């Protein structure tokens, strides 16, 4: 049953919609009616409030980190499932009719919890791609794909399968972005979607 506890803990923590909570709390309107309608930091940035976007990024990352950290303490052999649960919870929160974000910031948190070198590789890849392209979706997808590669490279192969599963999920959730990237219509950071 430990695998179910770890997955459930991750899901419950991951499903807390910090972007929606912060934008409502600070009077930025209904996040579901802004930009893409997602609950993540990129869409919060579309409100024009960079502080709330940064806060959403931080809190979404922390909930992923906390899920894995707690699972390591209680069920170390299945802690990786808490990582998957956290990302699933963020992307498909039961409280929002299973319509959440795309998992990039939550994945940042779980990568640091699974192994700080993986987290650094994830964050570094995301930042470099963002600096080069100014396209948030491309940066997030590239970082997600880099995470399982980093796990193998840094001698943490036991967490590579769960990171590969998360990468597949992140890519699938960005399928609309991939179509826009191929068409050359994907907005850059600072542009309207």
Residue keyed to tokens 């910090």: 18
Q: How many distinct helices (H) and strands (E) make up the chain?
A: 10, 0
Under the banding of pLDDT at 50, 70 and 90, the label for residue 188 is confident
Under the banding of pLDDT at 50, 70 and 90, the label for residue 192 is low
Taking the C-alpha atoms of residue 136 and residue 40, their distance in angstroms, rounded to an integer, is 11
Instruction: Quote the pLDDT of residue 4.
Output: 93
pTM: 0.92
More reliable by pLDDT, 147 or 44: 147
Average pLDDT of the chain is: 92
pLDDT tens-digit series, residues 77-136: 999 999 999 999 999 999 989 999 999 999 999 999 999 999 999 999 999 999 999 999
* CA geometry: angle 160, 115, 143, nearest 5 deg: 60
More reliable by pLDDT, 17 or 48: 17
Tell me: pLDDT of 191 over 90: no
pLDDT tens-digit series, residues 35-69: 787 888 888 888 888 899 999 999 999 999 999 99
Surface-to-core class of residue 175, CB atoms within 10 Å of its CB (0-12 exposed, 13-18 middle, 19+ buried): exposed
Instruction: Quote the pLDDT of residue 190.
Output: 65
Instruction: Quote the pLDDT of residue 32.
Output: 85
Q: What is the percent of the chain where pLDDT is above 90?
A: 74
Residue keyed to tokens 């707690």: 70
Tell me: pLDDT of 143 over 90: yes
Tell me: pLDDT of 189 over 80: no
Contact present, 107 and 173 (Cβ < 8 Å): no
The dihedral of CA 62, 149, 118, 6: what is its sign? Answer: positive
């Amino acid at each position: 049953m430990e695998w179910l506890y770890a997955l459930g803990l991750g899901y419950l923590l991951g499903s807390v919609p910090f972007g929606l909570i912060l934008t409502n709390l600070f009077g930025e309107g209904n996040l579901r009616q802004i930009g893409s309608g997602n609950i993540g930091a990129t869409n919060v940035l579309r409100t024009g409030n960079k502080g709330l976007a940064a806060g959403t990024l931080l809190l979404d990352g922390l909930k992923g980190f906390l899920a894995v950290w707690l699972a390591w303490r209680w069920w170390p052999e299945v802690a990786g499932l808490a990582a998957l649960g956290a990302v699933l919870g963020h992307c498909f929160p039961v409280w929002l009719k299973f319509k959440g974000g795309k998992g990039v910031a939550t994945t940042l948190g779980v990568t640091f919890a699974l192994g700080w070198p993986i987290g650094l590789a994830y964050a570094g890849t995301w930042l470099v791609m963002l600096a080069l392209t100014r396209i948030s979706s491309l940066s997030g997808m590239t970082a997600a794909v880099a995470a399982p590669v980093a796990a193998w490279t840094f001698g943490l192969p036991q967490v590579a399968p769960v990171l590969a599963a998360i990468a597949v999920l992140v890519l699938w959730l960005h399928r609309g972005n991939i179509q826009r990237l191929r068409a050359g219509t994907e907005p850059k950071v600072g542009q309207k979607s």
